[in-house]
Amino acid sequence: MRRLLAILPATILLALAPAACKRASPEQQAQGLEAFKTVEQVFQHPRCSNCHIPGDAPLQFDTQTPHAMNVVRGPDGHGAPGLPCSTCHGEKNSPASYGPHAPPGAPHWGLPPPDQKMAWIGVPAAELCAMIKDKKRNGDRDLDAMFKHVSEDKLVLWGWEPGGERKPVPVPHERFVAAFKTWMDAGAPCPGA
């Protein structure tokens, strides 16, 4: 009986352990690495990377040209004092009647804050993967919070309905979310690790 009682707590702990703590099979890890290719493709697209920049001036258009009017990140990621992003960017895209290059819009339009830029333009896949998982660099989000961010946040979702003549992210959102989940459920393996 003593032996059973000694084993029981470990058994309960293993049963209650979150999926992220359990080891993924080699097949799951391979599927996770393959799924990460889709995640990387989305993150590197201009709809995402134009605001995930190493400097402080956002980019615009598919050509990733510096934002007009000397727009900058500002102290909280929402523009300079006196010129917040919301000066031009509303809660939703401007009507088509405003023209093809009217400022786009989505809730809480802005860049990541300066202390967590999450800059990934040209970053190798392994570094991007590590950044996504690093709470110190990703807005203090664990993988479940990151999943919620990429699957539900209205600013993220804007990338698939950017309005005007902007090209949406070419990977359907449902496919991207499924790939992110596959990668996450495989233990979030990073290429080359």
Amino acid at 128: L
Per-residue model confidence as pLDDT tens digits over 76-101:
999 999 999 999 999 999 999 999 88
pTM of the predicted protein model:
0.85
Residue 23's pLDDT band, with cuts at 50, 70 and 90, is confident
Q: Which residue has the higher pLDDT, 21 or 79?
A: 79
- Across the range 17-21, mean pLDDT stands at 44
Question: Which helix (DSSP H) or strand (DSSP E) does residue 46 occupy?
Answer: helix 46-49
> Per the structure, how many domains does the chain have?
1
Q: Is residue 167 part of a domain?
A: yes
Structural domain for 90, as ranges = 25-185
At residue 22, the pLDDT reads 59
At residue 193, the pLDDT reads 75
Q: Is residue 155 part of a domain?
A: yes
Q: Is residue 13 part of a domain?
A: no
Q: Is residue 19 part of a domain?
A: no
Q: Is residue 174 part of a domain?
A: yes
Instruction: Give yes or no for residue 31 having a pLDDT over 50.
Output: yes
Q: Is residue 37 part of a domain?
A: yes
Q: Is residue 6 part of a domain?
A: no
**8 vs 2: CA distance, rounded Å:** 10
Q: Is residue 53 part of a domain?
A: yes
Per-residue model confidence as pLDDT tens digits over 140-187:
999 999 999 999 999 999 999 999 999 999 999 999 999 999 999 999
Number of other CB atoms surrounding residue 180 within 10 Å: 23
Give percent of the chain above pLDDT 70.
89
Q: Give how far the C-alpha of residue 92 lies from the chain's centroid of Cα atoms, to the nearest Å.
A: 20
